[in-house]
Chains A and B, each alone.
Chain A
Amino acid sequence: MTRFLMTNSTIDAVALRRELLRAEAGGFCSFEGWVRQTNGGRQVTGIDYDAYVPLAVTEAQAVLNEALTRFDVTNVVAAHCCGYLQVGEIAVWIGVAAPHRAAAFSACRYVIDEIKKRVPIWKREHYVDGNVGWVACHDSE
Chain B
Amino acid sequence: MPQIELEYFAQLSEATGLRSEIRNTPALTAAALYDELREQYGFALPPGRMRVAVNAAFRPWEQELFEGDHVVFIPPVTGG
With A52-B72, A120-B74: A91-B80 Cβ-Cβ less than 8 Å: yes
Chain A positions near chain B (C-beta within 8 angstroms): 33, 49-52, 54-56, 58-59, 80, 91-92, 112, 115-124, 134-138
Q: Which of B65-80 contact A (CB under 8 A)?
A: 72, 74-80
With A55-B56, A124-B10: A137-B76 Cβ-Cβ less than 8 Å: yes
Contact A52 B80 (CB under 8 A): no
- Give the A-B contact count at a CB cut-off of 8 A: 74
Q: Mark B6-41, 1 if CB is under 8 A from A, else 0.
A: 010111011000000000000000000000000000
Contact B77 A121 (CB under 8 A): yes
With A58-B56, A120-B53, A134-B14: A52-B78 Cβ-Cβ less than 8 Å: no
Which 9 residue pairs of A and B lie closest in terms of their CB atoms, listed nearest first?
A121-B79, A122-B10, A116-B80, A137-B76, A135-B78, A54-B56, A123-B78, A134-B11, A33-B80
Chain B positions near chain A (C-beta within 8 angstroms): 7, 9-11, 13-14, 49, 53, 56-58, 72, 74-80
With A55-B58, A120-B53: A50-B9 Cβ-Cβ less than 8 Å: yes
Contact A115 B56 (CB under 8 A): no
- Report A-chain residues with C-beta under 8 Å of the C-beta of B10: 50, 122, 124, 134
- Report A-chain residues with C-beta under 8 Å of the C-beta of B9: 50-52, 120, 122
What CA separation (Å) do A31 and B76 show in the bound complex? 22
- Report B-chain residues with C-beta under 8 Å of the C-beta of A112: 80
- Report A-chain residues with C-beta under 8 Å of the C-beta of B7: 52
Contact A49 B53 (CB under 8 A): no
Contact A121 B72 (CB under 8 A): no
| Minimum CB–CB distance for A96 against chain B, Å | 16
| Minimum CB–CB distance for A100 against chain B, Å | 26
